[in-house]
Structure 1
Amino acid sequence: MFRGYRFELVKLVSQWRIRLLALACWLAPGLFVAAVSEQSTLPTDTLFGRWMHATGWAGPLVLLGFAGSWALPLLTSVVAGDAFAAEDRLGTWRHLLVAMRSPRRIFVAKALASLSVILLLVVGLALSSTVGGLLAVGNQPLVGLDGHLLTPGDTAVRVLLAWAAALAPTLALAAIGLLGSVALGRSPMGLLLPALVALAMQLVQLMPLPVAVRLALPGYAFISFNGLFTAPAQLGPLLIGVTVGLVWAVLATVLAYLLFLRRDFTNPNVEGTGRRAVTAGALPLAGLLAVTIAALTTVHGATGSGIDQEKVQRSVATAFAHLYRMQTEQLHRPAVTEAQLKTSAVCTKGDAKASPVGPGNGWRCVVSWQLPGVAATGQAVYQLDLAADGRYVADGDGPKEVNGYFLLSTPQGDTPNPLWQFDGNVALLATAKG
């Protein structure tokens, strides 16, 4: 078994495209993060992109968001999606059977070799982006999605867990690639299958679907890692996403294994399994999706979008309170705690007749707070662009002394105003606080 695995691994790493991918994964992310961190304009539409000037730990999180959408699906397509199809194109199955004697051994060796290369590429993406960010910006605290500051040590652990969680959907896509490579033979559709599945999941995530459907997709862990950067951490969706991704990975690998064992290697004209791929490959995965949706709906009662007025108000008020304290420190004003501020928010969606539920860019929140020793109640207005996955961008709409300007004039000079615009996250599943 070890000799077969080593043989398949050498075959993979000897290909020029695999070597080029490895070089790109280990060098390009660090250079990209370092270059973007030095620019005056940051990718504020990307999660944690607005903090790339403030801390080097924002870089690997920005790259993780990009990798989950594009890089990792393409890597799994190139590596796993071509693992078996390459033998069909070259006509080398009979040589492999002579050398390794057992179809079972061939399958396991190819699967393990593909897994090893994919892990190498993912580790390269994570390490390179982290090193590039830390060297370019430094090891400073990171602002979480609820506005509280995470220490560098705590941030490092959470970044590591976020990339580790991304392995589950990556393995699911890799297993789908193996299944497509076995079932479709030399057809290019086998090579493109992981990327197409990932693209379809992205499109589904943009739709206002029930939260149970969203959580049941194997790529949800690419999104739910943002729950690690709140206090307390929103671990429910992340654990569900990781579990679903691993189950998909196991089932797709088993299906590919069973299809491979039924392959007729004596006939060189047989390439893949043709129509059998629909019944023995796609239908079991569709059944798993249906069962997962039913289980999540039953256990968590996740029938709606998971976004309602109470959750939005609580999330905006919490983030504002933490960021107000940060602004107070920047302006060297007397320190104040969240309990003293007594922050609250009243949020509406659209006109008065619209139901305050679900995603959209029509959310408007009025935040109120109380300073110790001050009779008047402070108020600030925010316009929210709330996505279907619970992430939102709150854009300050006055007063100008609080959130009306991008920069603050401090004794040390101009610095970004944390209350001008900030990211937040609404927990789609019910939490202990409601």
Structure 2
Amino acid sequence: MTVTVADNVAAADVDADPDALRVPVTRAYRFELVKLVSQWRIRLLVLACWIMPGLFVAAVSQQSTLPSDTLFGRWMHATGWAGPLVVLGFAGSWALPLLTSVVAGDVFAAEDRLGTWRHLLVAVRSLRRIFVAKALASFTVIALLVTGLVASSAVGGLATVGNQPLVGLDGHLLTPSDAAGSVLLAWACALAPTLALAAIGLLGSVVLGRSPMGLLVPALVAVAMQLAQMLQLPVAVRLALPGYAFIAWNGLFTSPAQLGELLVAIAVSLAWVVVATALAYLLFVRRDFTNATDDGIGRRAIPRALLPLVALLALTFGVVAVATPSMGSGISQAKVQQSVATVFAHLYRMQTEQLNRPAVTEAQLQVTAACDRGGGQVDAEGPGNDWRCVVTWHLPGTAAPGTAIYQLDVSSNGRFKSDGDGPKEVNGYFLVHTPTGDAPNPLWQFDGNVELLTTSPKG
């Protein structure tokens, strides 16, 4: 019968003086944290996360051409709070998965490559405390990196552009204080899917051992989720993926806030954190460290790690599908028309203020939108770049209504980009002539968001 180091440790903890042998988790945690931050690549990542986003935002904000294809990119000249959101959009797609791969995806595998498990086990005398210390140290470093991203990008934006109001995704204006709170909350929400990828990285590091594939697991999972988001999948499938909170934070920038998708996405991400971490722990404490040839790779370990995650994906999909009518794309003609009309009404008021025209309210404008796809030859639902909307509004004291045309590109996650197609005095040019000089025309192009998750079949 094989006697593992774990068995010896457990026996020592029971038979010997606990105070003499037990190493507190806090001491093991500090030791693992020091080991991580002493690595040159981790120090380089910390330095990059705390400096590069600020330099990027400052440089882009001073350019004549803005990343208008990026969410909130078109507002980087107007407010310093747009920069952190542009960085968040990029980080959720690329930076955060790579950071979790480098940190969490290697925290256990490094011991296999260096052959230091025996020394660590003798020093700590508990597999349980080793796992907890390594997991906490990894999550701490990742939180430090995320904090650097948001702090640096916010400082860069505020120092370059200033603490100005931010235009939300429905066209309403957020005060500087509201914008600051929403930006910080969006980054806090993005921490949930980041930790989910980190937990998956821990699991890959435990299962694959010294294999370099352990480092790639979080990044590969993130790429797979991005590819899935490009497909026309049911809303319930999107929400079941652990990374949807990287997208759902958009709902914080509408009035009222679209919190349904965001709360579900955060709950799903936290469920993945718990399940993936628990699987990594169970596989780790059952490993035979007395076998010199066992480096974590095993035929039985991979299905044991993969099948529960597949089951979790199926479970969350089933729960969301049953709880809400979300088996379609979530993008309907009525939703698109309502979203376009709401954004146009808010931005029309902004243009009115720019041109020093008499003030109007959304109620007075009575904005409506009539949208179709493919010139009426395609069902007006689902994502596509062939949406066309005719917006109509009424000005007080004017008998004839005003109309404007927009071409829409609606993505599968509900975000849409509108491009003005006339008349030229409303949305035909990207600049408007104001009494103080030329200024960006808010009605030329604008972004919007369609809430995919509904609470009733007719929503």
TM-score by length of 1: 0.99
Runs of 4+ in 1 over 6 A off after TM superposition: none
Aligned to 2:83: 59
Alignment of 1:133-148 (within 5 A): 133-148=157-172
Aligned to 2:387: 363
> 2:106 is paired with a residue of what secondary structure?
coil
Do the aligned partners of 2:325 and 2:455 also contact (CA within 8 Å) in 1? Answer: no
C-alpha distance after superposition, 1:50-81 (max 9, x if no partner): 00000000000000000000000000000000
Q: For 2:208 and 2:300, locate their aligned partners in 1 and report how far apart those are by CA, in whole Å.
A: 10
| Unpaired stretches in structure 2, ≥5 consecutive residues | 1-24
> 2:146 is paired with a residue of what secondary structure?
helix
Do the aligned partners of 2:325 and 2:454 also contact (CA within 8 Å) in 1? Answer: no
Do the aligned partners of 2:182 and 2:253 also contact (CA within 8 Å) in 1? Answer: yes
Aligned to 2:12: none
C-alpha distance after superposition, 1:229-271 (max 9, x if no partner): 0000000000011110000011000000000011110011111
Aligned to 1:104: 128
Q: Given the alignment, which residue of 199, 207, 213 partners 1:183? A: 207
Aligned to 1:319: 343
Is 2:156 aligned against 1:132? yes
**What amino acid is the match of 1:65?**
G
Q: For 1:275 and 1:333, locate their aligned partners in 2 and report how far apart those are by CA, in whole Å.
A: 72
Is 2:63 aligned against 1:39? yes
Q: For 2:56 and 2:240, locate their aligned partners in 1 and report how far apart those are by CA, in whole Å.
A: 33
Aligned to 1:337: 361
**What amino acid is the match of 2:316?**
T
- 1:275 Cα deviation after fit: 1.6
> 1:192 is paired with a residue of what secondary structure?
helix
C-alpha distance after superposition, 1:273-327 (max 9, x if no partner): 4222332111100000011111111100101000000000000000000000000
Larger radius of gyration, structure 1 or 2? 2
> 2:405 is paired with a residue of what secondary structure?
strand
Q: For 2:364 and 2:175, locate their aligned partners in 1 and report how far apart those are by CA, in whole Å.
A: 23
Residue-pair matches, total: 434
Is 2:452 aligned against 1:428? yes
**What amino acid is the match of 2:78?**
A
In structure 2, the CA distance between the partners of 1:196 and 1:29, relative to structure 1 (3 Å rule), is same
Q: For 2:65 and 2:331, locate their aligned partners in 1 and report how far apart those are by CA, in whole Å.
A: 31
C-alpha distance after superposition, 1:324-350 (max 9, x if no partner): 000000000000000000000000011
**What amino acid is the match of 2:278?**
V
Q: For 2:129 and 2:455, locate their aligned partners in 1 and report how far apart those are by CA, in whole Å.
A: 47
Do the aligned partners of 1:259 and 1:273 also contact (CA within 8 Å) in 2? Answer: no
C-alpha distance after superposition, 1:11-59 (max 9, x if no partner): 1011000000000000111011011000000000000000000000000
Alignment of 1:45-84 (within 5 A): 45-84=69-108
> 1:403 is paired with a residue of what secondary structure?
helix
Is 2:255 aligned against 1:204? no
> 2:260 is paired with a residue of what secondary structure?
helix
Is 2:172 aligned against 1:120? no
Q: For 2:300 and 2:383, locate their aligned partners in 1 and report how far apart those are by CA, in whole Å.
A: 40
Q: Given the alignment, which residue of 387, 406, 412 partners 2:411? A: 387
Q: For 2:455 and 2:61, locate their aligned partners in 1 and report how far apart those are by CA, in whole Å.
A: 35
| RMSD (CA atoms) | 0.9
Do the aligned partners of 1:224 and 1:241 also contact (CA within 8 Å) in 2? Answer: yes
**What amino acid is the match of 1:390?**
G
Q: Given the alignment, which residue of 383, 387, 404 partners 2:428? A: 404
TM-score by length of 2: 0.94
Q: For 1:225 and 1:264, locate their aligned partners in 2 and report how far apart those are by CA, in whole Å.
A: 43
| Unpaired stretches in structure 1, ≥5 consecutive residues | none
- 1:4 Cα deviation after fit: 0.8
Is 2:163 aligned against 1:157? no
